[in-house]
Amino acid sequence: MIRSAVTIALVPQLKTGPWIYWYHLEESMRKAAALGFDAIELFTASGHAVQPDTLKILLERYNLKLAAVGTGAGKVINGLTLTDQHSDIRKHAVAFIKEMMEFGGRFGAPAIIGSMQGNSLPGTEHDHSMELLAEGMHTLDQHAGSLGVKLIYEPLNRYETNLINTLGDGAAFIGRYKFKHIQLLADLFHMNIEEADLKKSLAENMLHIGHVHFADSNRRPMGFGHTQMKDIANTLITSGYNGYVSAEAFPWPDPDQAALQTIRSFHQYFK
């Protein structure tokens, strides 16, 4: 069954990012539950920023699940990526992601690797950066296995990374290195920029897709742009997608209206 989720960002440094609710964990969860969301996706400063016991109580109180945890703060706050030229920074990046995986894993939720993959910077061979990425992902794939949780890798659009931009290249990367616990994130905003045909790409790579970010073409909540969501939703349904459709979109025109628009779109396309 496809379930709904909404993002909550608790990190002030991420201020201009595409997240619906901001700063107040319990208040955001109360609002998400009132609108009927199944789950939340959390962006925290680290794997220790929210007490697991507190989160457990709140998830039970509001009858919500934890869909996933984002790791973007590792780059934004700490400057960590898996492809940095300095091995000590790469080590810290792996350690940061492991902590996030352990935090999410307590609730059966995967961590997402998006901006922490980094970039192949000028002066660096692209193949070398891909090897560094594979090295970090290999360690994290094994950690996911030991925790019994998935790890989600997100192809981003070309303005955010030059490593992997499409689901097809993401699937090839997983196949090449035989990762066992890594799945792909289909972020409809990034896909709108990079994929020639969103439906075809989703259908072809469905076996690898573990999470979906739900945003319109302009990264506003679904319905506020020009994405042809009906066909995309039908592709997800008929191809057997069985995970979360999680609103990672700008809080436009404000968080409450963005959340309302998202849940209306979710019901329109998935119920």
- Phi/psi at 205 (nearest 5 deg)? -110, 15
Query: Which pair of tokens denotes residue 112?
Result: 């997402």
Question: Which range binds Mn ion by CB under 5 A, 120-128, 228-236, 243-251, 260-268?
Answer: 243-251
Report the distance separating Cα 167 and Cα 257, nearest Å. Answer: 30
Residue nearest to ligand LER (CB): 114
Cα–Cα distances in angstroms (integers) from residue 58 to residues 25, 239, 260, in the given order: 9, 34, 21
Work out what residue 72 binds among ligand LER, Mn ion, none; the CB cut-off runs from 5 to 8 Å by kind: ligand LER
Residue nearest to Mn ion (CB): 187
Cis peptide before 253 (omega within 30 of 0): yes
CA atoms within 13 A on the CB side of 21: 28
Among the listed residues 102, 135, 160, 169, the single contact to ligand LER using CB under 6 A? 160
Closer by beta carbon to ligand LER, 41 or else 84: 41
Cα–Cα distances in angstroms (integers) from residue 226 to residues 4, 110, 217, 218, 222, in the given order: 21, 30, 6, 8, 9
Residues 6+ apart with CB under 8 A from 224: 216, 218, 252, 261
Q: 125: which strand partners?
A: none
99 is catalytic: no
User: Restricting to residues 179-238, which ones interact with ligand LER according to CB under 6 A?
Assistant: 187, 213
The closest of 168, 241, 240 to 198, measured between CA atoms, is 168
154 is catalytic: yes
User: Restricting to residues 101-120, which ones interact with ligand LER according to CB under 6 A?
Assistant: 112, 114-115
Closer by beta carbon to ligand LER, 141 or else 248: 248
Among the listed residues 39, 68, 82, 156, the single contact to ligand LER using CB under 6 A? 156
Query: Is residue 248 close enough to count as binding Mn ion by CB under 5 A?
Result: yes
Contact indicator for 183, 152 with CB cutoff of 8 Å: yes
CB of 187 to ligand LER, least distance (A): 5
> Of the listed 41, 154, 194, 195, which one is catalytic?
154
CB of 241 to ligand LER, least distance (A): 18
Cα–Cα distances in angstroms (integers) from residue 6 to residues 9, 36, 126, in the given order: 10, 10, 35
User: Restricting to residues 158-217, which ones interact with Mn ion according to CB under 5 A?
Assistant: 187, 213
Closer by beta carbon to ligand LER, 114 or else 210: 114
Among the listed residues 72, 104, 136, 221, the single contact to ligand LER using CB under 6 A? 72
Q: Tell me the site size for Mn ion, rule CB under 5 A.
A: 3
Closer by beta carbon to Mn ion, 52 or else 225: 225
Catalytic residues: 154, 248
Residues that bind Mn ion (CB under 5 A): 187, 213, 248
